[in-house]
Amino acid sequence: MIDRNRTTPSRRVAGTIRPTAPRVAPRAAARAALGAALAAVLATAACTQVKETASEASARIDRWFGAESKVEPPSRGASVKDAERLHEDGLAARRRGDEELAFARLLEAAEAGHGPAAYEVGMAYKDGRGTALDLEAGARWIDTAAERGESRALLLLGAAYYGGIGVERDYQRAAAYLADAAVQGQPRAQFLLAESFSNGRGVTKNPIWAARWYGKASAQGHRDAQFAYGVVHAAGLGLPRNPVTGHAWLSLAAAQGHAKAKQVVAALAKKMTPRQIRKAESKAAGFRPGPNEVFADRPTVIYVQQSLNTLGFDAGPVDGIAGPRTHGAIREFESRAKLAGDGGVSPELLRGLLAEQNQPG
């Protein structure tokens, strides 16, 4: 039988993420406050805009290069297959409207070490779905889900620390959570991580690296990221000035109801030729949002090209297309930095470029 009144996750579960740096869990009081803030986080996590404030802080960046999740399945207790089945059964029961059965199945899966189920249990406690409302228990399960690498939990905690919602604002801790969610493709986490690097909040300020994350979130249709990415291109913030690309991204943000985008598009259009405007409108019309499925996507290639050009290598136009000049510049950089590569865009290359950019002076 499942104890539905149990509010503390088992510490005997397996399947936790293996972080590259230790994560400090919130204290009991902070978890209680975080529980009260869960609903607010979801509504207000991405309300900031691009700013050019300068602030320096040390960065932990080793975890921020991968393209896939690092979550590992449970290895003790229920089998991986059993935990996944319980999770699916719980979601199916929820779709049928049987919230009590859904909670029971999800709790079983969470106790067996299933990360997504732990997140669902935490949110169920927050909303009182299938169980009594218990914000503190919800916060504990959300924290457990984050420890297991569940991207939605990582985003929620990162957004809470970034905005100081229910907890003391902590930009460094926020960046760590947001980075782990961002590499798993969470667009809101990608946007907030971009904001962190754009403004030097908890990390070393790096507008080129920020542009990569704005671009990744924009490609998934995130409205605020599209506005920020449009501003980056239109104003040349970290990237070469490109009014056509800027106009296109700003137009997409305006089409989604961004408050300032329409005004900025109109101002930008006054400085563009009719041909440039038509080209921008064509780019916007052809946009289709989609997940980040390829590591060397256009925002990543743009980051590589701009970084190499800034460092004195000839990577060619900063257009997100890795042609012969880009690959040649990569090989030159790899040779100088003593990196084992083949001229392609890889996590090792990005790590080397960021290390170079973080050199003092």
- For residue 303, which of 197, 220, 184, 202 has the smallest C-alpha distance? 197
CATH 1.25.40.10 positions along the chain are 28-178
Task: Name the 3-class secondary structure at 110.
Answer: helix
Q: Which of 240, 209, 177, 190 is nearest to 26 (CA)?
A: 177
Number of H helices, E strands in the chain: 16, 0
pLDDT of residue 160: 94
pLDDT of residue 9: 42
Average pLDDT over residues 337-349: 94
Please give the structure tokens belonging to residue 140: 């504990």
CATH architecture type of domain 28-178: Alpha Horseshoe (1.25)
Taking residues 290-300, what's their average pLDDT? 94
Environment class of residue 132 by beta-carbon count within 10 Å: exposed (0-12), middle (13-18) or buried (19+)?
Answer: exposed
pLDDT at 11: 32
User: Which tens digit of pLDDT belongs to each residue from 125-139?
Assistant: 999 999 999 999 999
Q: Tell me which fold the domain 298-357 belongs to.
A: Muramoyl-pentapeptide Carboxypeptidase; domain 1 (1.10.101)
The closest alpha carbon to 28, from 161, 167, 190, 198, belongs to 167
**pLDDT, tens only, 35-85:** 555 555 544 443 333 333 323 333 334 444 544 434 444 444 567 889 999
- Other CB atoms within 10 A of residue 277 CB: 17
Contact 123, 110 (CB under 8 A): no
Q: Which residues contact 226 (CB under 8 A, 6 or more apart)?
A: 218, 249, 250, 252, 253, 256, 258, 261
Tell me the pLDDT of the chain averaged across its residues.
Answer: 84
- Contact criterion met (CB below 8 Å) for 108 and 139: no
Task: Return residue ranges of the chain for CATH 1.10.101.
Answer: 298-357
Question: Does this model's pTM top 0.85?
Answer: no
Tokens of 57: 């802080």
pLDDT at 52: 33
Q: Tens digit of pLDDT for each residue in 88-98?
A: 999 999 999 99
**Do the Cβ atoms of 20 and 157 come closer than 8 Å?**
no
Phi, psi of 60 (to 5 degrees): -105, 105
